[in-house]
Amino acid sequence: MHLPTTIIALALSLGVSAEALLHPLPIKTTLATSRASRTTTTTPKPTSTFQSCGGFRVNPVNCPKGQICVDNPYVEGCGMACDRPGICVDPSEFCGGFAGFRCKGDKVCIDDPRDDCDPLNGGADCGGICV
């Protein structure tokens, strides 16, 4: 998700975390099908088809050459910081940054762990990678 810098600054000043801006929760919608009935649906999260890596294991799994291990943005929780497995991704598709580049399709933009720019600590213009 990419938001213009002014919206990010406003959200951060109102106490919205940068994590919530980068990884929003699924949106609940209500569809009125007729006057007598309503249907509530939840936007589905993409199905993960990534190779698992990292985490607390007897034999840790490394990613193939050219890929990096990152926290899985499609799973709630604290990720590899809590010894959960991560996912292997190709870090070549850039997103975010000052220009707010968007990811293609249903991919999400996550912080690039290879740099020291931290969107949770003042780095509103950090670049990311599409997952």
4-33: pLDDT as tens digits: 455 555 555 555 555 554 545 444 444 454
**Cα separation, 50 vs 70, whole angstroms:** 11
Listed ranges 6-10, 35-39, 106-110, 118-122; the one with the highest mean pLDDT = 106-110
Say how many C-beta atoms besides its own lie within 10 A of residue 89's C-beta: 22
What's the CA gap between 32 and 68, in Å, rounded? 44
What is residue 7's predicted lDDT score, i.e. its pLDDT? 52
Per-residue confidence at 47, pLDDT binned at 50, 70, 90?
low
Q: What is the DSSP letter of 96?
A: E
Using 50, 70 and 90 to split pLDDT, how confident is the model at 2?
very low
Q: 71 with 86: CB under 8 angstroms? A: yes
In this prediction, residue 35 has a pLDDT band, given cuts at 50, 70 and 90, of: low
Given a cut of 50, whether residue 1 has pLDDT beyond it is: no
65's tokens = 């050459």
The pLDDT tens digits for 59-98 are 878 999 999 999 999 888 888 888 889 999 999 999 988 8
Domain ranges of the chain: 5-130
Q: Is the pTM of this model over 0.75?
A: no
